[in-house]
A and B are shown apart, each in its own frame.
Chain A
Amino acid sequence: MPDPLASLTLALAIILFLTVIFWPTFGLINQWKRHQRTSIRVLTEDALKHLYKAEVEGRGATLQSIAGTLQIGIERTTSLLAYMQRGGLVTWEEGRPQLTSVGRHYALHIIRAHRLWEYQLADQTGYGKTEWHALAEHREHELTRDDVSELSVKLGHPRYDPHGDPIPPASGHLQTHGGKPLMTLAVNQTGHIIHIEDEPETVFAQLVAEELSPGMDVRVLDKTRERIVFWADGDEHILAPMLAANISVVPLPNADRSKFFNTEHLSDLKPGEQARILRLSHFCHGAERRRLLDLGLTKGTVVEAELASAGGDTMAYRIRGALIALRSEQARLIHITRLRAADAP
């Protein structure tokens, strides 16, 4: 029988070795794979996307801006652009790279693939909002034109991605969302969020943590140099201008002010308390939203919190006679007005 101490040591060493190589996130194999992904084609496509967006926004791309976006050196960028020029995707004009019409068409396809994929993630999967971009960033390079058309059909030809960016048609032009920054609204003015920029990732993650989402109606309460205070769909938010800059709105000059007030959430109810549903937050989207509606959580429904789970955090509500368990993150997205015992039907 082998010596236990020796075999234990050996086994630990083997496990450590295998972990370093195979671990799904930081393992060597995975890192190598990730490196492979930044192949010349992927770089080309990312550069095209950057050039196209710069063109649409009218700010023109430079060698430096491309290198910065792709996170590669100037030298590599130069040779990449030379490669793209040979392929007929870009030309040089006035010392700046410009897209050819072939390049523009190609870029449009990549953007379309990206946004459709984000839509599909938002509409049909459980991936978190902050994960969509990275997943789509990867996937856009794998979808062929046929795949993309098929996807569009399957999704019912959506026109906007979940951040509010228009999804370009198979051929045509990229449109912008056309909103203006939230900061441009004056105090007491109302507006409608139509777009939330998903880059940079850290900024977007904070906006997601605030549970902000396109589709919400906002009313500005206070605005200073350091911060903006506003109501969005019944919740008060305080944001630094740096964060607020990523939110675009269209003003709603004639909005009914009485619709804007601070509301409670279903998750605020304690067992035995009743409330009437005002709305589902726009933060709740896609399949999840449809499911809650199908379970009867529609506007005007009276619900009662009935049971708290022994494990905590999950609560069962009496909804139209049925007892339905929801997690607190879900219940948070349902806005309510409380009913006193006397108002209850």
Chain B
Amino acid sequence: MMKADGNLLATEASCKSCPLYHAAHMKKLGVDMEDWDYVVALAGNPNTGKSTVFNALTGLHQHTGNWPGKTIARAEGGYAYANKRYKVVDLPGTYSLLAASVDEEIARDFVLFGQPTVTVVVVDATRLQHNLNLVLQVLEITDRVVVCLNLIDEAIRHGLRMDHRRLARDLGVPVVPTVARSGVGLAELSRAIHEVATGKIICHPYRVQSEPPELKQAIKTLTEKIEKALPDLPNARWIALRLLDGDERIATALRKGELGDLRRSTVGETDSPRPADEPTEKALVEEILASAQSRRSTIGYNVHERYVEAIYTDAARLADRAVTLADEKPRFDVDRAIDRLVTSRIWGFPLMIGLFAFIFWLTISGANIPSAWLSALFIDTICPMLREGAAAVGLPWWLRGLLIDGMYLTVAWVVSVMLPPMAIFFPLFTLLEDFGYLPRVAFNLDNIFKKAGAHGKQALSMMMCFGCNAAGIIATRIIDSPRERLIAIITNNFALCNGRWPTQIILATLFIGGLFPSPLAGLISSAVVVGVTILGVLLTFAVSWFLSRTLLKGEVSTFSLELPPYRPPRFWQTIYTSMIDRTIFVLWRAVVFALPAGAVIWLVANVHIGNVSLAQYLIGFLDPFGILLGMNGIIILAFIIAIPANEIVIPTVLMLIVLVTGAGDVGAGAGVLFEPESESTLKPLLASGGWTLLTAISVMIFSLVHNPCSTTIYTIYKETGSVKWTAIASLLPLVLGIVLTFFVAQLWRLLAELG
């Protein structure tokens, strides 16, 4: 505490002398945003650094990543500046606010109806022209705008010189150059926000000028009508435009009086909507709508098109004035050279597979040692201490069993097995993501997805699934065709998630890598894991193909994906945040689910019906079915117990083997999830449970292809809102897994009989 205060003082002292003194006025508030004074909305094209700005202002850890569509739900946080409390809302990235997609609608509705005091448009300085489209649209909706000219460092790297003062003059609103990632310019940004919010700066926003004359005339007449009827509206011109474009959402809002909220006078106040209840106002609104409708039929129906053309004409002119190329002579363009290589016909795919294989290899070979340390710590050292402590306190045996042997040990196993691979895999993956490689993968795979009748962006949601399927399901929101989005949701489960990597890695190492001499073993094991991953991807294609020809018939929709510029990631920063954001988050989830599962395992093993325990009874019941699939009753039961969290399949299997085969001296008793000290005891133990090479292969296949975990199922239900599709998404992989393992097992046995 003392130390933190000291630091703060020191900063303040050193800042007093510098021109950025107002930085000390700023305080990050995280999610604590009770009684805010002002609301700030962060809008912008995808991938311009909105979430980075959001994190820098609020001190939160919203996911960032160098690919479009990373932020899908809107995030909220808070900060204080000059004794005023600000609530910040990070909106999904959009190219436009003309509401062509769900994302745009969310963003537009918030800027329009959410009454933000100030809207900050985060702009990529290296793509100013492209980004100004959105800026000009926002300027039509609201006056109180600050433009955050982000990624200035990248602009400099590309030899661009930005004249932000001229841009500010042209746009009529403050323009603040920033490098959000390293916090440069954020103090100025919050000051600009403050000054606009408190009315110290009055904006005179730029209005689009290049509309064709007949459209301009129509807008003008309608705007005058609206201004006369509803003098409070700050954006009559924009409303006129939307009405001319036949936007019913705006017409409805006008009828209900929802747009009245935007009255200039209500800076910072939050009063309730004022319905247009006076009969005169109602009549006036109807008259405006009728007049818009009739004008629509005379000026034609392509208002949207002509307006967008006008915006871009203006944007090009404004950007030309603000940006100059510092050195004219073309330099060797590294970014382009990398792009050529990673998308090349010859090298594109081998590079992709090689890169992922390398990551898996690092994960597999790097995770062993820390895994052993962790299990030594949690299981060999802490566990006996806990047992002794519990005995000393005098807890009854069943409570001790439930708490320590059931819950604690399950969690300990999950942590020691999952943490090391995740702590290696996630940062590496995040580095790739930050660099901007993943959209290139989607770009390369697009043609295959198209042939399978799916959307190219499914490659991106699949990437997310490799981390966590539930996150991948949410990421499918970037796919705007409902048909193809459902395909992506149903096939999500074929991408191995965190919970299943350990299963694959352990089995591949023990049963397949173990067949080879030691220098080869590691390579072979990672090749097997890559093979399983590719099998999953192939299944994704096959099932997508099947669905797009049967249940989800339809033509492939189109695909437009921005390939973001490469941005050199900041190595340590990335590693740190990915540990905090992802590793800890996923681990926490696993632990939360492993806790009750541990209790269930212990109970199943200790509740007796007559002479047999419930576990033995269930295993006997499931055995014939399991054997048909090349597995056994124990494994099936383990998969059932592990529905909440895939990561506990193997621990559950081990515990149940001990229980049934009576190999009690290895473990610690009924229902105890133990960690055999090294792999050498793990394999004999599995073998004593009847495991063969076929069993291992069947478990690997079934772990790849079975029902999603309960969190994922719930997420699917939330995203689709349909019991039918949730059921299909859960059962289709399960049935497919049963069929696959059945055929593998029977063919294997048939061949074994013959040979």
**Interchain nearest-CB distance for B444 vs A (Å):** 4
Given contacts A1-B627, A316-B443, contact A322 B100 (CB under 8 A): no
Selected contact of A15 from candidates B245, B561, B739, CB within 8 Å: B739
Expressed in whole angstroms, the minimum distance between the Cβ of A154 and any Cβ of chain B is 6
B747 touches A131 (CB 8 A): no
**Per-position binary interface string of chain A over residues 279-322, scored 1 when its CB falls under 8 Å from any chain B CB and 0 otherwise:** 00000000111111111101111000011111111101001111
Contact A308 B560, CB 8 Å, known A301-B312, A320-B127: no
Chain B contacts with A in 550-576, Cβ cutoff 8 A: 550-551, 553-565
Nearest residue (CB) in B for A311 is B447
Contact (Cβ within 8 A) B561 A324: yes
Check A324 against B560 for contact (C-beta < 8 Å): yes
Q: A4-B753, A295-B95 are in contact. Are A314 and B339 (CB under 8 A)?
A: no
Task: Give the shortest distance, in Å, between B161 (CB) and chain A (any CB).
Answer: 15
Near A by CB (< 8 A), chain B positions 431-486 give 443-448, 450, 456, 480-484
Q: Contacting B248 at CB < 8 Å: which of A153, A290, A327?
A: A153
By beta carbon, the residue of chain A nearest B346 is: A310
Q: Verify A131–B312 contact, CB threshold 8 A.
A: no
- Whether A321 touches B129, Cβ cut-off 8 Å, given contacts A4-B750, A298-B308, is yes
| Distance from B572 Cβ to chain A, minimum over Cβ atoms (Å) | 28
On chain A, the residues within 8 Å of B301 by CB distance are 158-159
Number of A-B contacts (CB under 8 A): 188
A8 at interface by CB-CB < 8 Å: yes
What mask results when residues 131 to 175 of chain A are scored 1 for a CB within 8 Å of chain B, else 0? Answer: 100000000000000000000011111110000000000000000
Q: Is A321's CB under 8 angstroms from B444's CB?
A: no
Q: A293-B305, A311-B447, A314-B443 are in contact. Are A322 and B127 (CB under 8 A)?
A: yes
Q: State whether A307 touches B560 (Cβ < 8 A).
A: no
Cβ-defined partner of B560 (8 Å) among A7, A128, A295, A300: A295
For residue B247, CB closer than 8 A to chain A, the reply is yes
B561 to chain A: which residues have CB within 8 Å? Answer: 324-325
A125, B551: Cβ atoms closer than 8 Å: no
State whether B555 touches A126 (Cβ < 8 A). Answer: yes
A183 to B133, CA, bound (A): 43
Residues of A within 8 A of B559 (CB): 314, 325-327, 330
Measured CB to CB, the closest approach of chain A to B114, in angstroms, equals: 22
Check if B450 sits within 8 Å of A293, measured CB to CB: no
Query: CB of A24 within 8 A of chain B?
Result: yes
Measured CB to CB, the nearest residue on chain B to A288 is B558
Q: What is the CB-to-nearest-CB distance from A93 to chain B, in angstroms, rounded to a whole number?
A: 37
Task: Looking at the assembled complex, report how far the CB atom of B744 sits from the nearest CB atom of chain A, in whole angstroms.
Answer: 11
B54 contacts partner chain A, Cβ-Cβ < 8 Å? no
Q: Is the CB of B742 within 8 A of A11?
A: yes
The answer, yes or no, to whether B743 is at the interface (CB within 8 Å) is: yes
Whether the Cβ atoms of B554 and A126 lie closer than 8 Å is yes
The answer to whether A320 touches B627 (Cβ under 8 A) is: no
Residues on B with C-beta less than 8 A from A296 are: 129-130, 133, 312
Complex-state Cα separation, A8 to B347, whole angstroms: 42
CB of A132 to closest CB in B, whole Å: 10
A23: Cβ under 8 A from any B Cβ: yes
| B305 lies within 8 A of A329 (CB) | no
Residues on B with C-beta less than 8 A from A311 are 348-349, 444-448
A2 with B447: CB separation less than 8 A: no
Contacts known (A157-B246, A320-B316, A325-B563); A127 close to B554, Cβ less than 8 A: yes
List A contacts of B248 (CB < 8 A). 153-156
Whether B340 and A319, one on each chain, are in contact in the complex, defined by CB atoms closer than 8 angstroms, is: no
With contacts A7-B746, A313-B447 known, is A298 near B312, CB below 8 A? yes
Contact of A287 among B100, B246, B312, B340 (CB under 8 A): B100
Q: Which residues of A contact B445 (CB under 8 A)?
A: 311
Q: Bound complex: CA of A295 vs CA of B133, how far in Å?
A: 9
A319 CB contacts on chain B under 8 angstroms: 130
B98 touches A294 (CB 8 A): yes
- Cβ-defined contact, B482 with A321, below 8 A: no
How many Å lie between the Cα of A157 and that of B98 in the bound state? 18
Does A42 have its Cβ within 8 Å of any Cβ on chain B?
no
Partner of A325, one of B100, B126, B443, B549: B443
Whether B343 sits at the interface, judged by CB under 8 Å, is yes
CB–CB A330/B293 < 8 A? no
Contact of B385 with A by CB under 8 A: no
CA distance A154 to B105 in the complex (A): 14
The answer to whether A294 touches B95 (Cβ under 8 A) is: yes
Contacts of A306 in B (CB 8 A): 336, 339
State whether B444 touches A4 (Cβ < 8 A): no
Judged by a CB distance under 8 angstroms, whether B128 is at the interface is yes
Cβ–Cβ < 8 Å partners of A154 in chain B:
248
Which residues of the partner chain A approach B749 to less than 8 Å between Cβ atoms?
1, 4
Name the B residues within 8 Å of A290 (CB-CB). Answer: 98, 100, 304, 308
Q: Does A71 make an interface contact (CB < 8 A)?
A: no
> Which chain B residue lies CB-closest to A324?
B562
B656 to chain A, nearest CB (A): 21
Whether the pair B446, A128 counts as a contact (CB closer than 8 A) is: no
- A155 to B301 Cα, complex, angstroms: 12
B246–A4 touching, CB < 8 Å = no
Among B101, B447, B564, chain A packs the most CB atoms within 10 A around the CB of B447
Closest to B455 in A: A126
Q: Are B98 and A128 in contact (CB under 8 A)?
A: no
Say whether A25 faces chain B, with CB atoms less than 8 Å apart: yes
**Chain B residues closer than 8 Å to A312, beta-carbon distance:** 345, 447
Residues of A with C-beta under 8 A to B450: 313-314, 327
Asked if A289 contacts B305 (CB within 8 A), the reply is yes
Cβ of A323 < 8 Å from any Cβ of B?
A: yes
Asked if A5 is at the interface of the complex by the 8 Å CB criterion, the answer is yes
Inter-chain contact A321/B130, CB cutoff 8 Å: yes
| Shortest beta-carbon distance from A261 to chain B in Å | 21
Is B344 positioned at the interface, with any CB of A under 8 Å from its CB?
Answer: yes
What B residues does A325 contact at CB under 8 A? 443, 446, 456, 559-563
- Tell me the complex Cα distance, A320–B308, Å: 14
A4 vs B308: C-alpha distance when bound (angstroms): 66
Contact with B along A115-129 (1 / 0, CB 8 A): 000000000011110
Give the residues from 296 to 353 in chain B that come closer than 8 angstroms, CB to CB, to chain A: 297, 301, 304-305, 308-309, 312-313, 315-316, 336, 339-340, 342-345, 347-349
The reply to whether B554 and A131 form a contact with Cβ atoms under 8 Å apart is yes
Is B391 on the interface with A (CB-CB < 8 A)? no
Determine the distance from Cα of A142 to Cα of B317 in the docked complex, in whole angstroms.
Answer: 51
**Given A5-B750, A23-B550 in contact, is the A310-B127 Cβ separation under 8 Å?**
no
Set of chain A residues within 8 Å of B343, measured between Cβ atoms: 307-310, 316
Closest to B137 in A: A294
Q: Which of B309, B339, B560, B739 contacts A330 (CB 8 A)?
A: B560
Question: A197 CB to closest chain B CB, in angstroms?
Answer: 20
Within 8 Å by CB of B304, from A153, A293, A327, A329, lies A293
A24 partner, pick from B130, B247, B551, beta carbons under 8 A: B551
User: CA A159 – CA B297 in complex, angstroms?
Assistant: 9
Complex: A24 Cα to B339 Cα, angstroms: 42
- Give every chain A residue within 8 A of B480 (Cβ-Cβ): 287
Docked complex: A1-22 residues within 8 A CB-CB of B:
1-2, 4-5, 7-8, 11, 15
Contact A320 B558 (CB under 8 A): no
Whether B627 pairs with A294 at a CB distance below 8 angstroms is no
Interface flag for B504 (CB, 8 Å): no
Chain A residue contacts of B750, Cβ below 8 A: 4-5, 8
Residue of B nearest to A8 (CB): B746
Whether A320 contacts B129 in the complex (CB less than 8 A), given A127-B554, A294-B96, A325-B563, comes out as yes
Binding site for B on A (CB under 8 A): 1-2, 4-5, 7-8, 11, 15, 23-25, 125-128, 131, 153-159, 287-296, 298-301, 306-314, 316, 319-327, 329-330
For the complex with contacts A5-B750, A290-B304, A309-B447, 7 further pairs of A-B residues with Cβ separation under 8 Å are A25-B550, A126-B555, A289-B305, A300-B313, A313-B446, A322-B130, A330-B558
Q: List 12 A-B contacts (CB under 8 A).
A: A125-B482, A154-B248, A291-B101, A291-B558, A309-B446, A310-B342, A311-B446, A311-B447, A321-B129, A325-B446, A326-B559, A327-B558
Q: Enumerate the 7 nearest inter-chain pairs by beta-carbon distance, A residue then B residue, closest first.
A: A310-B348, A126-B557, A156-B246, A128-B555, A311-B447, A294-B96, A126-B481
